[in-house]
Amino acid sequence: MAQLKELSDIELMKRVAKYESDALYALYDRYTPLLFSLLKKILGDPAIAENALVEVFTIVWRKADRFDFRTENVYTWLVTLTRNRAVDTVRRERAEKGQTYYDDNYENKYVVPHLSPNLDALDLNTAMKIKPQVEKALAKLTDAQKYVLHLAYYEGYTLDQISRKLRIPLETVRNKTMKALYNLRDNLLSE
Amino acid sequence: MADKVISEMITAYALGCMDKENFDQFHRHLKKGGKIPLGELGELQNLSVLIPSLLELEAPNPMLKEKLTENLLALRDEIERKKQAAERKTKAEKPQPKLKLEEDKIQSPPEIAEETGKTIEKIPKGISFSSTDKYKETTKEKLTQQSSAEQVKTYIDQPDDKKVTDVPPTRETPKPQFINLQPGDKDWFNNFIKSKTTWILAGIPLFLFLLLLIIFGSQIGSLSDSIDKLNNNVSGLQSEVERNKEFVSRHLALVEFFNNTNIDVVELSGTDLYPGTNGQLLITFTEREGLLKLNNMPIPKGNEAYQLWMVSDGQSYSLGVFVPNLSEKYIRIDNVPFIPRENVEMFRITNEPRSGSEMPTGQTYLFGSLYQPQEESKRR
């Protein structure tokens, strides 16, 4: 186990894809604080967040073969998977009764991430190292841009829902969301 | 930046805030290889996952890992099938011919670069928002410097259909060599063939060699049989050890639980709707943990599960969501809420979605209440 701790994210993921459970536990130990905090932020209740965390790693175990190893980007895959899983729960709670359909195909389509094949490599260490820059870049956004990002990313609202919630035209929401993310990128590049 | 409409779409896709209809359309378009700036999409996807890096990090209950282990154990059969399928696939694949090794070395990286737009050089760790085309250029430059320059450059710049045929051969075909026998040599050769003594002399070592070969062959055969048998024994013992470990870990949990004093036993009975079902809840309010045993409970459908509730002052508190598992006799319950024993009115089990509910929403399968000594004394 001690040796596994030394392995990179991608090396661990390769072992997970071969169903080496120790590698999954190593990945769990490494990523749990971040993923649990994200789940708690989205789902609110710590107990529900804990259940969701177990489900996320169960999905990783079952669906590791859907990870695109060419991207070498386990961080983005895991965080997106976790966020998708949490947002799916939140959207189900908000949806009208009867919308409880969930099977393997649904999971593959809406929960397992579909990342661009042209994704730059990123790992947990790097993400944590550039945290101050991300913080500064985010702080430079306007309040409206921050709010729209919050509603979309953490609250799980779709663009249509944000438009209805804030009572502003859908076009404006689309534009604001795009500007928020592109400004965040530009701010981060200038840091 | 790409066209405004496309940028808006890829932003919504990267942030995961498209409604289902648009998501399905965009997803189909992406799968069909429609025109989407994949580099830019990748940048935005990497960017959006940096947002949670700012969260204050906290760790969940350390016991949660056990739940993960339970899930992994429950998936054993599925994983075993996947493993076997993967093995069959590997066996079915024919090994690639190892000819033209040098050519392969040169060819494969540009193929990958063409397909994915990524470099074969390991991309330096760290986020980079540079476009993919830049990486492609870097690849080309690096390849040009590293390998035999002319071959690679020609390869990358050529159209695809010429790539295989135009690569120059890197190995020379060995020419057959003939031995020219001189007249004197020929006589010696004829004499040698004709000489019976020479035949016998040559035959003895050959015979001995064959004999040794047979003896060693049979010994090697029996040795490999023994190794196979030993391997089978070892794998049998390994699986037995695994089974024992699992048994011990399960029962250790039970032993640990029964070390607690003040364990309450709650008999759970089936409601009128499910009269044949029953169960038992063993709970300790001092250690805030419990064990649940269920009998004759139907397996919940698709995305459904059972949720155990503790009712106090009319409020329901969740004790956990679970799906009965044939291999698990007892379901472990952690984190029983801080509610005084005497305030607990009843326990009940309802049918809920697998993600769990905040309040009971489904039908009640089982219910039961704590044995209250006061009530007993009143009756007396």
Q: What band does B270 get if pLDDT is binned at 50, 70 and 90?
A: confident
* B302-353 pLDDT tens trace: 788 999 999 988 889 999 888 877 666 778 888 788 888 888 889 999 999 8
Is B188 buried (19+), middle (13-18) or exposed (0-12) by CB count in 10 A? exposed
Q: Give the helix/strand (H/E) hosting A117.
A: none
Mean pLDDT across A15-31: 93
Contacts of A70 in chain B (CB under 8 A): 112, 116, 118
Whether B263 contacts B283, CB under 8 Å:
yes
Contacts of A120 in chain B (CB under 8 A): 42-43, 46, 123, 127-130
Q: A115 in helix, strand or coil?
A: coil
Q: Distance between CA A107 and CA B46 in Å, rounded?
A: 21
Are B51 and A121 a contacting pair at CB < 8 A?
no
Kindly state the tokens that stand for B203.
């035959």
Kindly state the tokens that stand for B151.
């071959």
Contacts of B321 in chain A (CB under 8 A): 51
* A140-156 pLDDT tens trace: 999 999 999 999 999 99
- Average pLDDT of every residue of chain B: 71
Mean pLDDT across A102-112: 90
Q: What band does B112 get if pLDDT is binned at 50, 70 and 90?
A: very low
Contacts of B356 in chain A (CB under 8 A): 47-48, 51
Are B64 and A50 a contacting pair at CB < 8 A?
yes
Q: Closest Cα to residue A21, out of B89, B83, B328, B73? A: B73
Bridge partners (DSSP) of residue B292 are B281, B331
Bridge partners (DSSP) of residue B269 are B278, B367
Q: What band does B294 get if pLDDT is binned at 50, 70 and 90?
A: confident
- Which residues are within 8 A (CB) of A112 and not within 5 positions of it... i.e. 6 or more apart? A59, A63, A66, A81, A84
Kindly state the tokens that stand for B320.
């956990």
Kindly state the tokens that stand for A128.
């944590």
Q: Distance between CA B64 and CA B245 in Å, rounded?
A: 19
Domains along chain A?
1-127 (1.10.1740.10), 130-191 (1.10.10.10)
The 8-class DSSP code of residue A98 comes to T
Kindly state the tokens that stand for B25.
């359309």
Residue A153: which of B51, B78, B82 has the nearest Cβ? Answer: B51
CA dihedral for A60, A66, A72, A73, sign (positive or negative):
negative
Q: Distance between CA B65 and CA A156 in Å, rounded?
A: 27
Substitution target from B50, B70, B134 for chain A, most A beta carbons within 10 A: B50
Q: Distance between CA B122 and CA B217 in Å, rounded?
A: 48
Nearest CA in chain B to A50: B60
Nearest CA in chain B to A121: B125
Q: Closest Cα to residue A125, out of A73, A88, A83, A164? A: A73
Q: Distance between CA A78 and CA A12 in Å, rounded?
A: 13
Residue A103: which of B53, B302, B320 has the nearest Cβ? Answer: B302
* B141-190 pLDDT tens trace: 433 343 333 333 333 333 443 333 333 333 333 333 333 444 444 454 45
Whether B110 contacts B136, CB under 8 Å:
no
Q: How far is B236 from chain A (nearest CA, A)?
A: 19
* B72-91 pLDDT tens trace: 888 877 788 877 877 787 77
Residue B53: which of A131, A185, A189 has the nearest Cβ? Answer: A131
Residue A53: which of B54, B64, B320 has the nearest Cβ? Answer: B64
Which phi and psi angles does B166 have, rounded to 5°?
Answer: -90, 0
Bridge partners (DSSP) of residue B316 are B311
Mean pLDDT across B47-51: 95
Q: Closest Cα to residue A13, out of A95, A68, A81? A: A68
Q: How far is B7 from chain A (nearest CA, A)?
A: 7
pLDDT in the model for residue A163 = 93
How far is residue B232 from each of residues A14, A79, B328, measured CA to CA in Å? 28, 42, 29
Whether A85 contacts A56, CB under 8 Å:
yes
Distance of CA B244 to the CA centre of its chain: 24
Residue B71: which of A46, A54, A156 has the nearest Cβ? Answer: A54
Are A177 and B44 a contacting pair at CB < 8 A?
no
pLDDT in the model for residue B74 = 83
Q: Distance between CA A10 and CA A121 in Å, rounded?
A: 10
Whether A54 contacts B67, CB under 8 Å:
yes
pLDDT in the model for residue B314 = 84
3-class SS letters over B123-167: CCCCCCCCCHHHHHHHHHHHHHHHCCHHHHHHHHHCCHHHHCCCC
Greater pLDDT, A145 or B237:
A145
CB pairs under 8 A between A and B: 228
Whether A34 contacts B57, CB under 8 Å:
yes
Which phi and psi angles does B306 have, rounded to 5°?
Answer: -105, 145
Residue B19: which of A84, A123, A159 has the nearest Cβ? Answer: A159
Are B64 and A45 a contacting pair at CB < 8 A?
no
